[in-house]
């Protein structure tokens, strides 16, 4: 008698993984033109392990946790490449003013009086809560008390690039540029092994930082391999004033000081000649475009289409909530796409997919984090957001990329993961208590209103 032993399918051992997210669409950003339908993202140890058709998952993986998002699109978490997080507490306190009036007569006096560890802690919590609810998973910050911002980010599981701020003026945090530099370097030393945090240099702007500290920063940035994040050519006034004083534009000055390298991140750049765009492209440095802040302060328009055509990497940021007045990267993508068409006089300028790239992979490149985040690529961190497109406002749905940029809003973000940890679950924050936070914010509102 012959006994036939069948070869059973379950002999093929399934791999145990932490999380599988099934989604109607996945837009990985890399490759650029891909939109996968009915696929799943496999996450293990905080990293993306696989991206495959949904029907093939059960043959390979056994998840501890599973999410079925059948009306949703998965995107890499958005990267807000320029923020002053705790300025959320000054949201709406002084509007409809030009930059220098706004800074000198409203923001700087308020900062002198109120900015403290507690201010930065509570303001950062508000910013992080708002950003997570809006699909942002990483922010590039420049503000006083950066150690507090970093601490809150780590505490809530948020990824952040925390600038070593430097400005020639004294503040509650440091008395002069030497002290800023010393405290910044101590912060870098303290945080260099934190997986969610990086610590670039962040000299404020050409009109607030003198040559000597900039030269030191240049040398240190090379030694420590850190990016340098700085406001640049934000307004015509900034460029003209510097030209009158020194006979050179801020870009020319920074070029002479050796700052314009592939690790330099210039924010705003609303005033650029064709020659400056060509020069800047040659340096390999990055631009962060903040269209809503530029519009609100009437600073001008960054010629984004010309910059992209010249080969410059352009990322996207909101700036602080006092000049925007939100930290909404969906709004920023839409504004960037619309404004670029108006500025270029060309409806094909800055198409929807380019806006998504600016808010994801281009931000990662600018921050020196391209190998870790910015796309849903195997081996990168699982910084992932899910957007529900089954809402009336995003129907009918011919093209998810178009809906995300031109029709969707941040309230359609339902779930957010950073390094595989879920920070937003069906629109509920998992690491921040909203009621406690609101109470703290109303106390700050009372204090700042008294002025
Ligand atoms: Zn700014």
Judge whether residue 33 has pLDDT over 90: no
The size of the chain, in residues, is: 451
Give 75-126 pLDDT, tens digit per residue. Answer: 999 999 999 999 999 999 999 998 889 989 999 899 999 999 999 999 999 9
Give 184-221 pLDDT, tens digit per residue. Answer: 999 999 999 999 999 999 999 999 999 999 999 999 99
Contacts of 335 (CB under 8 A, 6+ apart): 291, 292, 295
Confidence class for position 450, pLDDT limits 50, 70, 90: confident
Q: What's the gap in Å between 318 CA and the centre of ligand 1? A: 8
Q: What's the gap in Å between 304 CA and the centre of ligand 1? A: 18
pLDDT value for 1: 52
CA dihedral sign, ordered 284, 367, 402, 42: positive
Q: What's the gap in Å between 84 CA and the centre of ligand 1? A: 6
Tokens of 312: 């410059």
Q: How far is CA 48 from the centre of its chain?
A: 20
Q: What's the gap in Å between 66 CA and the centre of ligand 1? A: 39
Q: What's the gap in Å between 268 CA and the centre of ligand 1? A: 8
Tokens of 164: 């070593």
3 state SS of 429:
strand
- Cβ count near 81 (within 10 Å): 31
Q: What's the gap in Å between 68 CA and the centre of ligand 1? A: 39
**Mean pLDDT in the chain?**
96
Q: What's the gap in Å between 231 CA and the centre of ligand 1? A: 6
The strand pair at 197-198 and 159-162 is best described as parallel
Judge whether residue 3 has pLDDT over 90: no
DSSP per-residue string spanning 93-112 = SS-S--HHHHIIIIIHHHHH
Give the global pTM: 0.96
Tokens of 226: 């850190």
Contacts of 384 (CB under 8 A, 6+ apart): 21, 41, 43, 48, 74, 75, 76, 77, 137, 376, 416, 417
CA distance 308 to 74: 26
Average pLDDT (167-178) is: 95
3 state SS of 445:
helix
Average pLDDT (388-402) is: 97
Q: Which residues surround ligand 1, an ion (CB under 5 A)?
A: 319
CA distance 43 to 419: 9
Tokens of 310: 């010249």
Give 245-303 pLDDT, tens digit per residue. Answer: 999 999 999 999 999 999 999 999 999 999 999 999 999 999 999 999 999 999 999 99
Tokens of 195: 């997986």
Q: What's the gap in Å between 241 CA and the centre of ligand 1? A: 19
């Amino acid at each position: 008698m012959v006994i036939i032993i069948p070869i059973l399918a379950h002999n093929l051992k399934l791999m145990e993984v932490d999380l599988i997210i099934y989604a109607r669409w996945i837009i990985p950003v890399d490759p650029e033109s891909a939109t996968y339908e009915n696929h799943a993202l496999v996450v293990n140890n905080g990293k993306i392990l696989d991206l495959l058709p949904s029907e093939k998952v059960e043959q390979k993986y056994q998840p501890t946790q599973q999410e079925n998002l059948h009306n949703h699109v998965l995107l890499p978490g958005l990267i807000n490449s320029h923020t002053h997080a705790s300025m959320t507490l000054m949201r709406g306190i002084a509007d409809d003013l030009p930059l220098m009036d706004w800074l000198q007569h409203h923001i700087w006096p308020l900062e002198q009086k109120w900015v403290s560890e507690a201010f930065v802690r509570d303001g950062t919590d508000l910013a992080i809560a708002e950003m997570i609810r809006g699909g942002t998973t990483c922010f590039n910050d420049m503000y006083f008390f950066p150690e507090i911002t970093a601490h809150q980010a780590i505490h809530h599981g948020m990824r952040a690039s925390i600038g070593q701020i430097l400005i020639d003026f004294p503040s509650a945090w440091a008395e002069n540029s030497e002290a800023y530099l010393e405290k910044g370097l101590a912060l870098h030393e303290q945080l260099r092994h934190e997986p969610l945090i990086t610590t670039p240099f962040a000299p404020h702007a050409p009109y607030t930082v003198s040559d000597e500290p900039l030269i030191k920063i240049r040398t240190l940035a090379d030694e420590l391999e850190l990016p340098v994040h700085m406001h640049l050519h934000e307004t015509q006034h900034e460029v003209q004033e510097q030209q009158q004083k020194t006979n050179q534009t801020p870009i020319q000055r920074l070029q002479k000081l050796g700052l314009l390298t592939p690790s330099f991140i210039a924010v705003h750049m609303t005033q650029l000649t064709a020659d400056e765009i060509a020069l800047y492209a040659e340096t390999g440095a990055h631009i962060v475009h903040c269209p809503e802040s530029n519009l609100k302060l009437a600073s001008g328009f960054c010629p984004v289409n010309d910059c992209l055509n010249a080969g410059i990497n352009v990322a996207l940021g909101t700036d602080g909530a006092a000049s925007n007045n939100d930290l909404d990267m969906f709004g920023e993508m839409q504004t960037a796409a619309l404004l670029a068409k108006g500025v270029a006089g060309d409806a094909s300028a800055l198409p929807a997919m380019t806006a998504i790239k600016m808010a994801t992979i281009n931000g990662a490149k600018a921050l020196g984090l391209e190998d870790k985040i910015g796309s849903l690529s195997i081996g990168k961190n699982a910084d992932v957001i899910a957007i529900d497109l089954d809402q009336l406002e995003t129907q009918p749905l011919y093209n998810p990329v178009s809906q995300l940029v031109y029709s969707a809003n941040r309230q359609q973000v339902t779930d957010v993961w950073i390094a595989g940890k879920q920070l937003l679950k069906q629109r509920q924050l998992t690491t921040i208590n909203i009621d406690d936070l609101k109470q703290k914010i109303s106390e700050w509102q009372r204090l700042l209103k008294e002025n």
